[in-house]
Structure 1
Amino acid sequence: MKFSEIFGIGLEQPQLDFVDITPDSDMPLFIDPFAISLKGDAWSELCHQHINHFFQTALDHIRAGRDDSARAMLNGLREPNETCLGLSQGAPAGRGVGGRQAFDLYESLAASQAAQSGLLEELAECDLFVPGIGSDKISDITTNIIRHPLIKYTQEQCALHDIDLQGDYPSGRYWDIDAGAWRHDYVRLPVVAQKRLILVPKYTVRRKMALTSQEFYSQHILNFIQEEEMQRGSPLVRVLRDGTRRPPTKKSLKERFPFSKDFVARFSEEHPEVLNRYKRLYAELEGAQGTLRHEDFDDEFDEVLLAQALAETLLSIPPGNANADRYHKFIMGALEFIFWPNLICPKKEQEIHEGRKRIDIIYTNAAQSGFFWRAHTAHNIASRMIMVECKNYSKDLANPELDQLSGRFAVNRGQLGMLLYRTVENYGRLCARCRDAAQDGRGFMLALGDEQVTEFLNLIADGQRAAIDARLQAMFNELIA
């Protein structure tokens, strides 16, 4: 059974912000530090700071000959079974770093030409240059380093879905930037069959790492060498009967320049522009920031069917206070499905003003294109966080409901939000009230009733998901008209 089934969440993977793990087996997914480094949201930036600090400190010890300090750091790595991610067969066994393997990691880094020369700068580059370190180990190392942010994220997601936490349990070691050392604590976590579980945001995982030595060698290094051999008229260049010159075959180049991570490192030092181009390519590719599609988590997932099912479910929820929690839960899942991966990391009933006010749902704006990205770039609106209020009313919304949402806005939190409601007799009048608030400097509120939510779901069912962005922009244009 998956985590969501065990704890009775009642939502499917596309409606959840975290990877819906199966506690008794590992999912073949990896936490990719390169993907994390490309994201601009606060959580990813915090994790990147931890990863970069740990790795640079370890490299500094190795390059300065402080072997005992380097070994002590790397010996703090353990097998992270709590996330249930990786390549283990059967029950999670943490095939990554721990014990003897941590010592082997030190030996590999200490002997690495790239580490000693300064070529190696990021943990993600270990797969390129350091023998014996691949995707599973890099993912495990990353998990160790960012265990504390992951635990906090797990606790927030459990609060979001009303899951009782048990504890206090040992947290396992995590990297403390301020102390520059490993720390451990006692924390509250979800537990299944006496096994502690840590949830991972689905926007941080990949099916394979972005930077891999084999791909870099085969698709970039050899391509560069082919062009170079052609330009200098190498004997490896093929000449056809009609005199046409053809690049050397990759087979011949592999025989002359056989693959090894040391060769990849030497080549990268001589031609840093090829490495930079390779990393830049992945930074600019769609999905390179670590975002997987819904179907990447489940090969049998049918987006059309889920969109249709959600539209039907919405209509089945009666308005009124008795079903407020049911509507609230539905909206959380629906917004996750509709706006992924632009809105991430939802938190429920976020307290502000020392607990005197609450926001129903608050999302992190992680958009790097589209409406939510344009809001804070083209329109210069503070929108790092997106506030959402849910009103399962059977009556029309009025000024008090709008004032409640606008009262949550602030420059440091954000001034863009969504007001979710059921129905209204005069939609034009509601939009006019939202426009008045915007023109009075009280923030920008998008009013989304059942009609608009159903419209978005129908667009997805019709294969027109991209049209949602244009619809949001049109609604926003009404606010600033």
Structure 2
Amino acid sequence: MRVSEYFELGRTQPALDFVDVDTATDSRVFIDPRAIRIQNSDFAENCKLLLVSFFHELLMAIFQNDDSRVYNLLGQLTEPNETHLGYSKGRSRGRGLGGVGAERVASMIRGSKAAKSGVLADLEDTALFIDGIKNDIVSDIATHILRAALIGYTQKAADYYHIPLERQYSGAIWNPDTCEWEFDYVDLPRVDEEPLLLIPKSIVRFELTLDQNKYYNGFLAPLHEAAEIDARSNLVSILKNGTPRVNREKLREKYPVNKSAIVEYTQQFPEALDHYKTSISHLSSPVLTHEQLAQRLDVPTPNYDRLLARMKGIPAGKAAAHIYHSAVEELMTALFYPHLGNVRKEREIHEGRKRIDICYDNLSNMGTFFWLTQHRAAEIPVECKNYRKDPRNPELDQIVGRFSTHRGRVGIITCRKLYDKALFIQRCRDTALDGNGFVLPLDDADFEVLVEERKKVENESYRNKSMYKLIRERFDALVA
């Protein structure tokens, strides 16, 4: 039974921001720290602080040969059952990290050539450089380090989706200020008398982003080739046009690809790892799509027509404003995923003096929403107006007041029907030309168009599914 079924949420995976895991076993996806590092959001920044502070403390203990501190830092780590992520078959069970055990993992890291040589810098590097450490162990360690952030996310998601919470033991929580593990009692959901941590879809992957072969082929092998050419070695042949060439198969024979060797090559070319990591973006580590999640987790793909019909069936007017608000979010969460994610409803800003109806992080790596990042769109705020008449300047001013240099200057205002659509778009254009940001109005008829657009490309390439023609046309109308 999935989380959505257990708590009777009335939603399926496409309309949920978190991974809709099976509550009885594990789902084979993993938290990827590198996927977190390439995001720009308050949640991601909090996670980065936790990851950096813990791993810095661990490396310091290793460099100082402080075995007691190393084992204290890693000794709290077990296989976390609360996320239901990983490889377990049957009921989720805590067997130690990846079935290896915390003490063994501590020994593997402590005794590794990577740790001793100084090439180890981030948690996810351990899977790149250390034998025996793979997706599940990195994901399990990340879960423990990020527990404070994941508890906060789970509490907000539970409030958002009306999931009941119970007071219970937190497990070990990493404090980045004291650099110590702490323990507390917190409010979390429970499933079959066990705590549950919800995980954002945006931070999970099937495999870790850092990949040994990609690192070798794209960043280490070219440096070995250049060195062989400079040395005029027997690996080099000269093409008819006089260009020197190194045979890649022979290069691999001389410089084999394994974790121990990768450490040596990284010591030889220390700039290679930095170049590899900085090359990773949303383009090389995209958020998992509806189809990928459906195939891996055996969850449904979106039913856009049903979501649209639910929204359109809500009567206009103040009495149904909250229901409309939720229906718009459910449709948009499915319709614009994986480009928009990490949804928050009724988010407070300016220390609670203002609220945004819905807010998404812009996670896009191509297409329309990625193009919008050129206009400062790290977040996309949404204001929902279930009016029987057109919104006017006060509503426009309201969403403009949500813009900032940090969050972005592109937002969406939804309503039921724009009776004079040309006039309201002109109001939005005036706002843009005055330098106050870009507001994209969408009414029920526009959502009909967007749904048809998405359905037409649903079985096409990811690139085609990233293009939202109506959104681009609406933006162009503001600046043309």
Matching residue of 1:326: 323
Name the counterpart of 2:159.
159
Q: In 2, distance between residues paired with 1:67 and 1:11?
A: 48
Q: Is the 8 A contact 1:27 1:86 kept in 2?
A: yes
Q: Distance in 2 between matches of 1:360 and 1:219?
A: 44
Greater shift, 129-138 or 411-420, is seen at 411-420
> CA offsets, 1:113-158, max 9 Å, x none?
2211111111111112112211111111111001111111111111
Superposition pairs for residues 326-345 of structure 1, below 5 Å? 326-345=323-342
Counterpart amino acid of 1:329?
S
Identify which range, 213-222 or 258-267, moves more after superposition.
213-222
Alignment partner, residue 184 of structure 1? 183
For 2:210, the equivalent position in structure 1 comes to 211
In structure 2, the partner of 1:195 is 194
Could you tell me which amino acid in structure 2 is paired with residue 262 of structure 1?
Answer: S
User: 1:471 maps to what in 2?
Assistant: 470
Structure 1 position 26, deviation (Å):
0.5
Deviates more, 1:92-101 or 1:23-32: 92-101
Deviates more, 1:146-155 or 1:113-122: 113-122
Aligned to 1:362: 359
Note if contact 1:18-1:199 (Cα within 8 Å) is conserved in structure 2: yes
Distance in 2 (CA, whole Å) between partners of 1:74 and 1:419 is 48
Q: Which runs of 5+ in 1 are unaligned?
A: 239-244
CA drift at 1:234 = 6.9
Asked if 1:445 corresponds to 2:439, the answer is yes
- 1:12 aligns with 12
Q: Could you list the runs of 5+ residues in structure 2 that have no partner in the other structure?
A: 238-243, 458-463
Letter paired with 2:2: K
Which of 262, 265, 271 is 2:263 aligned to? Answer: 265
* Contact 2:168 2:186 (C-alpha < 8 Å) held by counterparts: yes
Q: 1:156 to 1:230 in 2, by over 3 A?
A: same
Matched with 1:76 is 76
Alpha-carbon spacing, 1:172–1:395, altered in 2? closer, same or farther (3 Å): same
Kindly provide the CA deviation profile for residues 158-185 of structure 1, in whole angstroms up to 9, marking residues without a partner as x: 111122222x111111211111111222
* 1:348 counterpart letter in structure 2: K
CA distance in 2, matches of 1:205, 1:112: 27
Q: Do the aligned residues in 2 keep the contact of 1:88 with 1:95 (CA within 8 Å)?
A: no
Q: What aligned pairs does 1:248-397 form with structure 2 within 5 A after superposition?
A: 250=249, 260-272=258-270, 275-276=273-274, 278-279=276-277, 283-284=280-281, 286-288=283-285, 290-299=286-295, 306-352=303-349, 355=352, 357-375=354-372, 377=374, 379=375, 381=376, 383-397=377-391
1:431 matches 2:400: no
Aligned to 2:241: none
Cα distance in structure 1, aligned partners of 2:209 and 2:406: 33
Percent of counterpart pairs with the same letter? Answer: 36
Check whether the contact 1:295–1:301 (CA below 8 A) recurs between aligned residues: no
Deviation at 1:451, TM superposition (A): 1.1
Bigger Cα displacement from structure 2, 61-70 vs 211-220: 211-220
Q: Please give the alpha-carbon distance, in whole angstroms, between the structure 1 residues aligned to 2:402 and 2:245.
A: 65
Q: Which amino acid aligns with 2:152?
A: K
Residues of 1 paired with 2:33 and 2:370: CA distance? 23
Residue in 2 aligned with 1:241?
A: none
**Deviations 1:23-66 (CA, angstroms, capped at 9, x unpaired):** 11100011111222222223222212211221121111111122
> 1:273-302, CA deviations, whole angstroms, 9 ceiling, x for partnerless residues?
554565455x157351x5111111112778
Deviations 1:364-398, CA, capped at 9 Å, x for gaps? 33445555455453x4x5x4433222122333333
Q: SS state of the match for residue 447, structure 1?
A: strand
User: Which TM-score applies when normalising by structure 2?
Assistant: 0.85
**Aligned AA (2:147):** R
Secondary structure in 1 matching 2:197: coil
Q: Which amino acid aligns with 1:266?
A: E
TM-score (norm 1): 0.85
Distance 1:287 1:420, change over 3 A: farther
